Amino acid sequence: MGSLVREKHGIFDVKCGFFIHEVIAEAIVLSAQRPKRKKSRTVRFLFNGVTVCVRSDSNPVLILRDWTRAVDGCIRKNIGPYPKSALADEEMARDERKRQARRAKGVSEFMSEFLRESGGPL
Question: What are the pLDDT digits (tens) for 76-94?
Answer: 999 999 999 999 999 999 9
69 and 112 inside one domain? no
3-state secondary structure at position 70: helix
75 and 96 inside one domain? no
| Residue 82 burial by Cβ neighbours in a 10 Å radius (0-12, 13-18, 19+) | middle
pLDDT of residue 5: 87
Q: How many domains does the chain have?
A: 2
Cβ(72)–Cβ(99) below 8 Å: yes
Q: What is the pTM assigned to this prediction?
A: 0.81
Residue 30 has pLDDT above 80, yes or no: yes
Among 31, 26, 25, 82, smallest CA distance to 55 is for 31
42 and 17 inside one domain? yes
The separation between CA 108 and the C-alpha centre of its own chain, rounded to angstroms, equals: 25
Cβ(24)–Cβ(52) below 8 Å: yes
Average pLDDT over residues 55-68: 96
Average pLDDT over residues 47-75: 95
pLDDT of residue 121: 62
Among 39, 32, 27, smallest CA distance to 64 is for 27
| Residue 77 burial by Cβ neighbours in a 10 Å radius (0-12, 13-18, 19+) | middle
Average per-residue pLDDT for the chain: 88
51 and 98 inside one domain? no
77 and 17 inside one domain? yes
Average pLDDT over residues 31-43: 78
30 and 76 inside one domain? yes
